[in-house]
Amino acid sequence: MRKIVSVIVAAPLALALAACGETTPAEQATPEPVAADVPVNLPTIPVNSLTTIEYAGTYSKDMGDGTTSHITLNSQDDTYQYDAGDGKVISGKYKRMDDGSRIELADFGGKPAIFAVGTGAIYRMDSADTPLTDVKEVNMYSRDPDAAQALKADTAETKDSAEK
């Protein structure tokens, strides 16, 4: 009799456990759309940045094809060197624009180019009339801190040598 009672009690428990093992498909998850273009907050170009910030140094930009372009600015004599990453280096003098925050490189790969000078970066502008508020990350050359320090030290050594 005990066996029968045990079977009678165990049978519903076994069925209940078996029912728990059944799975019901969950609703398909719908992915949320992701914003493709997240706005980047770039720093504003300071007023008269050519006289209010120390901008001499080397600025670099990854060109996306495995090369890196470099622009070195020397604020002591308004000269620059441009290396497009192809081994050809262009040197010349840059012109300070009337607004005090932009420069014009006379030869930037065969044609003139306007750059807005910011803190830690320079931005190639579409034209001389482009507002300073229209800087774009895609046109940004970031300052290389090591090269800026080397240029500063080199300039100091040149001054010391000239004074002696």
Strand partners, 96: 103
CB distance 85 to 69 below 8 Å: yes
| Residue 34: inside a domain | no
Residue 23 domain-assigned?
no
Per-residue model confidence as pLDDT tens digits over 32-84: 665 656 666 777 888 899 999 999 999 999 988 889 999 999 999 999 999 99
Give the model confidence (pLDDT) of 122-154 as tens digits.
999 999 999 998 989 999 999 987 654 554 555
- Please tell me the predicted confidence (pLDDT) of residue 19: 56
Cβ pair 85, 63 in contact under 8 A: yes
Query: What's the CA gap between 12 and 7, in Å, rounded?
Result: 9
CATH of the domain at 126: 2.40.128.640
Q: Which of 48, 72, 47, 68 is nearest to 59 (CA)?
A: 72
Q: What is the domain extent for residue 89?
A: 49-163
Flag whether 6 is in a domain: no
100 or 13: which leads in pLDDT: 100
In a domain, 113, yes or no: yes
Q: What is the DSSP track for 5-67?
A: HHHHHHHHHHHHHHHHT---PPPPPPPPP--S-PPP-PPPPPTTHHHHS---EEEEEE-SSS-
Domain total in the chain: 1
* pLDDT for 2: 58
